[in-house]
Structure 1
Amino acid sequence: MGSTIPLFKEQSLFVRTKKVLPWILYALLPLALLRLYFYPLPFPPSPETELPHSSTPITITTHSSLSSSSSSSSSSSTPPLFSSPSSTSEKEKGGGDDENERGCDYFNGEWVRDLRGPLYNGSTCSTIKEGQNCFKHGRPDSGYLYWRWKPNRCNLPRFDPNAFLQLIRNNHIAFVGDSMARNQLESLLCMLSTVSEPKLVYRNGEDNKFRKWQFVSHNASVSVYWSPFLVHGVEKSSSGPNHNVLYLDRVDERWGKDMDQIDLLVLSIGHWFLHPAVYYEGGSVLGCHYCPGLNHTEIGFYDVLRKALRTTLSSIIERRGGGGGRENNNGIDVIVTTFSPAHFEGEWDKAGACPKTKPFRNREKEVEGMDADMRKIEIEEVEDAKGRGKEFEGFRLEALDVTKLALLRPDGHPGPYMYPFPFANGVRERVQNDCVHWCLPGPIDTWNEIFLEMMKKWERTAME
């Protein structure tokens, strides 16, 4: 008899548990669903965006008159956009997360998958140039949108449009150069327009090559000046000589005359120097590049690129380095975006294409040849000008070195989708491709993410 009582209790407990358990599960199910609603599990990528080469990271190794159209948004008493950079502080050498970000080399790293995608798309941004609106023109794959740049030993934060607008409050930024300058500008406008709509206040020139927008919310202006050589030049035309003419000893006044109305210059040149040209310096012909039939010495284009950039940076230092041009002005800030490689497979004018849909793998592509030479010249001239401008407190200059990270993205160009639906009537034998510029949205958005981090770093330096 004594042994039957515990057995009865065990059976009774089992019965009660069996009855209560379903009710407990019913109570937990809504809680689980609520948790998933607020904290969803990551979803797997679609087949077209599946992670390639997951076993091998993608890395790269380092080698050592717009102002007259409206009143300027810059106040004469407004301080410069960036503070004067100083030598690396002890904090920047430190070991904390914030210190690591401060000392980060944003220009070397790898492309990693990011399922969040871009801040905007081809239908939400109204300032995209038609030839770079790849989705609108029917590009069928979307995998190129789901990568982001991961620098070595630190992270590149997602672009914060509010932070950028706050940094340029009461200032005027001008992108000056060739179509790559315009490409970077339009990327920036698209990202900023996610929080504040830019108002177009000026446009002029063929293909609206001179434009200016205002962000009324922050009294800030952003403009673009077409100047493919930065120095004075006459571009080739169908009705004239089949070569460009460059005057290497004077800056292009189409933007130079507005220099005293600009707080930050973003310069970008390179690809136009590859075209046939005759060069002048000191009133006489210096030489030419690919000019058969003309009695000029062939001198190539590398030294010419160097001279053009040196003339440009020297002119900026002379006119604005000491705070010249505006009363109580403290100078000007300058960014030089380095050469962005093309990815033609074959000759660009002979149906050369860029058909890849994924980034290059680790060590699959190195910066070499012309790409390396163009970048080297630009970096050297920036460092030389920084040395010459040291004596001017108001002159700040940095290189936005995108050459390496751009080289690894052969998948980010419009290709045949520079035109609307190029294969709508079947595959044609010959289709022109754009393997120089970048789709919007696309990899070039990263240029501006790094640009913002440079601005934030200089702002922190000012406060130390």
Structure 2
Amino acid sequence: MTTTRQHQRMRLLFRLSLVSVLTVGASRVALDYLRNNDVGIKLMPSEYTIRVPVEVSEEETIEDGCDVFKGRWVWENESYPLYEEENCPFLVKQTTCLRNGRRDSFYRHWRWQPDGCDLPRFNGIKLMEMLRDKRLMFVGDSVQRGMFESMVCLVHSSIPSSVKTSLRRIPPRKVFKIEEFNASIEYYWAPFIIESISDHATNHTVHKRLVRLNSVAKHSQEWGGVDILIFESYIWWMYKPTINVTYGSLDKIEEINVTAAYRVALQTWANWLDSTMNPSTQKIFFVTMSPTHLWSWEWRPGTNGNCFNETRPIKESSYWGTGSNLDIMGILEDILGQLTINVTVLNITQLSELRKDGHPSIYGERKGKLLTKEQKLDPKNYADCIHWCLPGVPDTWNEILYALLLQDYRVHVQ
């Protein structure tokens, strides 16, 4: 009798165990189906998937009449840099000066202080809220790519690690996606803005540069739906005093003065803006020329070097080197003055002129490779005095961009 009861209990326990296993299995199948088909039950959303209005305090507001592009560089060793080179995995070798062997790190600790007002502290979450469901795109050459990487690092370092991000390369674009905000920060390679034979994302070095002065059609297919566009084009025009141009047919190529070509190119771009952009939904910025520091005699008379071994900014606030072309600045002012839509100028030239210390020098790369020991011993010919180390000067450009976006948001939303 006892044996029979034991068998019955064993059968009952077996049936209960079987039912439990089948129930758990069925639940897992159902949950997998729901996840894969995006119906019914969903995982708990991140707190950042819910839109939160951005509050702009008085301290974050640029005072009326304050020109944020006029000021001075202030040594700030406690709260600068805003991120660390080793903590941002998105930097290319062209900008990782410390990793490439640069011993001094002074260039990372200078803060731009406008005369008469303060820049707001960069806040990645506030920027993401302003960019929610939007695209921000930097357009230009490798200097502009440095500004893109700076912005990506600023955002990456100031948002919680729980926020999902990704970087995809879709030549000639790079796309940094911030998932919870459905926002993207992008970069588009277009060194002349207009079409050219140097538009390939990686294979673009040519001895005889050729531009198509009357067309941005190929590029603009990628620009049209972008919410915030930041354009830049300068250093590629400065290769020689003249440049080869065409209006479409390769059978008819002319060689003309660079400044004349730049004016026509910028006019082509401006015509596209006027005919295509929607000023009520899209914002356009233009970054003025990024200065070079190729000749040390300009800031230290009697010397014959360049930016190599420079560790401090230039003190004279009105310094202007020959690496910045006044004719180009005048052309930009003329063309933008004719537009019917608003383009905000990020006039970074003067403040960057002072930063002879901020370039990679011999701690960068050439043609995709770090300099050899022999090349490093010849800074006169191999020092990179065009691009910028990161963290560094481009972070300030983005701090100003952030301040202007915050100001515009406050005016139109709050």
Shorter-chain TM-score above 0.5: yes
- Equivalent residues of 2:307, 2:356 under 8 A apart: no
- How far off is 1:275 after superposition? 2.5
Find out whether 1:366 has 2:332 as its counterpart.
Answer: no
Aligned equivalent of 1:186, options 137, 142, 149: 149
- How many residues get paired? 338
Find out whether 1:249 has 2:214 as its counterpart.
Answer: yes
Match of 2:261 in 1: 304
- How far off is 1:397 after superposition? 1.9
- How far off is 1:131 after superposition? 1.3
Counterparts of 2:199 and 2:403 in 1: how far apart (Å)? 38
Counterparts of 2:333 and 2:348 in 1: how far apart (Å)? 11
Match of 1:448 in 2: 398
Match of 2:289 in 1: 339
- How far off is 1:424 after superposition? 6.4
SS of equivalent residue, structure 2 residue 350: helix
Find out whether 1:278 has 2:244 as its counterpart.
Answer: yes
- Equivalent residues of 2:289, 2:324 under 8 A apart: no
- Equivalent residues of 1:321, 1:331 under 8 A apart: yes
Match of 1:320 in 2: 277
Counterparts of 2:60 and 2:164 in 1: how far apart (Å)? 32
Counterparts of 1:201 and 1:429 in 2: how far apart (Å)? 36
- How far off is 1:303 after superposition? 2.1
- How far off is 1:404 after superposition? 0.5
Using a 3 Å threshold, how does the CA distance of structure 1 residues 203 and 422 change in structure 2: closer, same or farther? Answer: closer
- Equivalent residues of 2:62, 2:118 under 8 A apart: no
Match of 2:33 in 1: none
Letter in 2 for 1:409: R
Aligned residues with identical type, % of pairs: 27
Using a 3 Å threshold, how does the CA distance of structure 1 residues 363 and 176 change in structure 2: closer, same or farther? Answer: closer
- How far off is 1:242 after superposition? 2.8
SS of equivalent residue, structure 2 residue 214: strand
Give the alignment's Cα RMSD to 1 decimal. 3.1
SS of equivalent residue, structure 1 residue 335: strand
TM-score w.r.t. length of structure 1 = 0.66
Find out whether 1:228 has 2:191 as its counterpart.
Answer: yes
Gapped runs of 5+ residues in structure 2? 1-57, 298-303
- Equivalent residues of 1:379, 1:399 under 8 A apart: no
Letter in 2 for 1:190: C
- Equivalent residues of 1:266, 1:335 under 8 A apart: yes
SS of equivalent residue, structure 2 residue 67: coil
Moved >4 Å (runs of 4+)? 96-100, 236-241, 282-286, 350-353, 367-370, 419-427
- Equivalent residues of 2:61, 2:120 under 8 A apart: no
Find out whether 1:384 has 2:334 as its counterpart.
Answer: no
Using a 3 Å threshold, how does the CA distance of structure 1 residues 127 and 412 change in structure 2: closer, same or farther? Answer: same
Using a 3 Å threshold, how does the CA distance of structure 1 residues 260 and 429 change in structure 2: closer, same or farther? Answer: closer
TM-score w.r.t. length of structure 2 = 0.73
Counterparts of 2:156 and 2:150 in 1: how far apart (Å)? 10
Residues 173-223 of structure 1: CA distance to partner in whole angstroms, max 9, x if unpaired? 111111121110000000000115673353144xxx421121012110111
Gapped runs of 5+ residues in structure 1? 1-95, 289-298, 323-329, 390-395
SS of equivalent residue, structure 2 residue 382: coil
Counterparts of 1:358 and 1:285 in 2: how far apart (Å)? 49
SS of equivalent residue, structure 1 residue 412: coil
Using a 3 Å threshold, how does the CA distance of structure 1 residues 427 and 166 change in structure 2: closer, same or farther? Answer: closer
